[in-house]
Structure 1
Amino acid sequence: MKLKRFSIGYRTMKTAAGAAAAIYVAQLLQLDYYVSAGILAILCIQPTKKRSIRAAFSRFVASLIGVGYAFVFFEGIAYHPAIFGLMILLFIPVLVSLGFSDGFVSSAVILLHIYDSKNLTLDLFLNELSLMAVGFGTALAVNMYMPSIEKKLDAYRYDIETLYSTIFKETAHYLRQGDSDWTGKELMESEALLRKAKALAYQDVENHVTRLENKYYRYFDMREQQLEIIERILPKITALPVTIGQSSMVAEFMEDLAAHVHSGNTASHYLAKLESLKTKFAEMPLPDNHQKFLAMAALHHVIEEMEDYLEIKSSYKGFTNKKTSDA
């Protein structure tokens, strides 16, 4: 069996630092069960800032509910393993119904402290509150640092634009030649790349507490919508029964488009070109046979689809770009 390459990620380092810091602070404050502060911190170190905040809130509320259960069951009935089991049996469904199920483990830590002490006093309650404050607070403080992923998102952006450019070039080649040895692998690569890019962009959204979305996520979502159109166009082009004069006109448009696939914020230039293309189509004589008629109809449909492709881009603000036209 091949072993995975040994590596230490930034989240691993933050978990180690957070746990150590939480234990150290709790020990300085001379809290009982101070090592548990490290456990609470570990439970709150999450991949993103928003998830870390949600985790801390959920665990804090769940722990407070747990203290209430401890008071009813331990103080009201008995400190006994059977009672502890019964309490857990009734405690978990309540957390699930309230949406705090992920706080069970941290609340169990608090419950075990109370069970071990055999006496729920005000001092113990304040001790547990302090442990939560130190553990969750340290985790939040440590998790406020998140390395920038913009360079990776930019790399995805450029790679997708390169793939789209290649797809348009190959489409133009097919329109001119009526044949091609293109495998279409760029389509599958685009789909896979967009999935990864959107996931990473969503992670970037989660790392900004007050941000609901970001320009990268909107960009990749826009490109995903465009890819759906491209995937509808290609079968129509490859199914053209004959090559007609309009084919080279559409091919020229596709070649021009391929040279200008970038992240600019206007597609008006190419929408105007499409309008001009449609006008030329209308001025040309009608096909003299059925095969040519089918080819012309298919190309006209391709133009309409490309209008939708560009409309999607024109409604997108885009990234700052010195170019004046884009796809």
Structure 2
Amino acid sequence: MQFRRFRIGYRTLKTAVGASIAMLIAMFLDLDYYSSAFILTVLCIQPTKRKSLRAVYSRIISTIIGVGFAFIFFEGIAYNPIVFGLLILLFIPTLVSFRLQDGFVSSVVILLHLFDAKSLTMSLMWNEFQLMAVGFGVALLVNMYMPDIEKDLKKYRLDLESLYAKIFHEVALYLRNGDSNWDGKELVQVSEVIEKGKALAYQDVENHLNRRQNLHYLYFDMREQQFEIIERVLPKITALPVTISHSQLVADFIEDLANHVHSGNTAHRFISKLDEVKEEFSTMPLPKDHENFLAMAALYQFIEEMEQYLRIKSNFIGFTTKKKTASKD
């Protein structure tokens, strides 16, 4: 049996500390069912600030609905396990219809208190309100702290740019020599880095309550669109029937591009260079046979796709850097 490495994450630590504090506060306030503050806090500590707010909202509304059901079923019929079962039978579909099913467990905690008390008094309602205020409030306060992930996002960006550069270097090598020992592992790695980068960037968005998206997420989304083009054009290059003089021209351009993969937005410079490549294409000799014609057509399709690759980057605002750099893709 293989065991995963034992570790205590920041969310686990926050849950343990926050839930304990909530229960201590409930004890200090001398609330009935004070241990339930622990459960309510645990249920509301989420991976991001926005999710934590949504969790509190859904639990408050679902509890209000639950108290209404309790008044109808418990006070209107009886405090009986069968009646409680009938309440749950109708309560769950009601929450689902309002998309509040996440608040079911916390609502049941409160309903159990009402069922145990056998009477819906104002003092009991005040006790339950304080329990929720303590549990949910502590959860929100604890969740205001989120670790800084800027360093990890930057690492994913740099890793991705390094992989793109490697891919373009291999493409240039193949265009020059007509052969390559490249195993293509960077293509798999790019997919993994993009997926991880987008997930982390989305988490960063969720941790800023006044923001719906951020530059990091737009960056990884932009790179994902570019990667779709890379995957589409690689077969065009590897299927070239012969190496022609046009290949060297495109190889020089791709090599230059590989040396300047960056997070900044200066793709327009390479679009201009690509226009120069197209002009030079038009001045070169026409293909002498069918194979040369196919090779030239494939290369022209390739540079058209690379223009789209650069257009996608040109629409990205880019990350500002303290030092001025040479033109990047």
Counterpart of 2:240 in structure 1 is 240
How far apart in 1 are the matches of 2:191 and 2:208?
26
Map Cα deviations across residues 197-252 of structure 1 (whole Å, 9 max, x no partner).
Answer: 11111111111111101111100000000011111111001111111111000000
Instruction: Give the Å deviation of 1:324.
Output: 4.0
The answer on 1:188 being equivalent to 2:188 is: yes
Counterpart of 1:326 in structure 2 is 328
SS across alignment from 2:34: coil
Counterpart of 2:120 in structure 1 is 120
Letter paired with 1:126: W
How far apart in 1 are the matches of 2:238 and 2:84?
69
Counterpart of 2:281 in structure 1 is 281
Unmatched 5+ stretches in structure 1: none
Instruction: Give the Å deviation of 1:288.
Output: 1.3
SS across alignment from 1:147: coil
Contact 1:70–1:111 under 8 Å retained in 2: yes
Counterpart of 2:224 in structure 1 is 224
How far apart in 2 are the matches of 1:295 and 1:5?
52
Map Cα deviations across residues 141-194 of structure 1 (whole Å, 9 max, x no partner).
Answer: 000100011111111100000000000000000000001111111111101111
How far apart in 1 are the matches of 2:82 and 2:171?
72
Counterpart of 1:56 in structure 2 is 56
How far apart in 2 are the matches of 1:80 and 1:172?
77
Contact 1:264–1:324 under 8 Å retained in 2: no
Map Cα deviations across residues 95-115 of structure 1 (whole Å, 9 max, x no partner).
Answer: 011110010000000000000
Contact 1:266–1:324 under 8 Å retained in 2: no
Matched residues, number = 327
How far apart in 2 are the matches of 1:11 and 1:141?
13
How far apart in 1 are the matches of 2:181 and 2:13?
49
Map Cα deviations across residues 94-136 of structure 1 (whole Å, 9 max, x no partner).
Answer: 0011110010000000000000000101111111111111100
The answer on 1:100 being equivalent to 2:100 is: yes
Letter paired with 2:289: N
How far apart in 2 are the matches of 1:304 and 1:297?
11
Counterpart of 1:44 in structure 2 is 44
SS across alignment from 1:140: helix
How far apart in 2 are the matches of 1:270 and 1:282?
19
Q: Which moved more, 1:15-24 or 1:315-324?
A: 315-324
Counterpart of 2:146 in structure 1 is 146
The answer on 1:11 being equivalent to 2:19 is: no
How far apart in 2 are the matches of 1:262 and 1:46?
34
The answer on 1:316 being equivalent to 2:313 is: no
Instruction: Give the Å deviation of 1:4.
Output: 2.1
Map Cα deviations across residues 277-303 of structure 1 (whole Å, 9 max, x no partner).
Answer: 100111112111111111111111111
How far apart in 2 are the matches of 1:184 and 1:245?
25
TM-score of the two chains, using structure 1 as the length reference: 0.99
Letter paired with 2:254: M
Letter paired with 2:19: A
Letter paired with 1:3: F
Instruction: Give the Å deviation of 1:3.
Output: 2.3
RMSD: 0.8
Letter paired with 2:325: K
Counterpart of 1:265 in structure 2 is 265
How far apart in 1 are the matches of 2:2 and 2:166?
37
How far apart in 2 are the matches of 1:94 and 1:191?
41
Letter paired with 2:205: V
How far apart in 2 are the matches of 1:296 and 1:265?
30
Runs of 4+, deviation exceeding 4 Å: none
Counterpart of 1:197 in structure 2 is 197
Contact 1:268–1:325 under 8 Å retained in 2: no
Counterpart of 1:20 in structure 2 is 20
TM-score of the two chains, using structure 2 as the length reference: 0.98
Letter paired with 1:41: T
Instruction: Give the Å deviation of 1:6.
Output: 1.6
Contact 1:201–1:217 under 8 Å retained in 2: yes
Instruction: Give the Å deviation of 1:29.
Output: 1.6
Letter paired with 1:73: F
SS across alignment from 2:91: helix
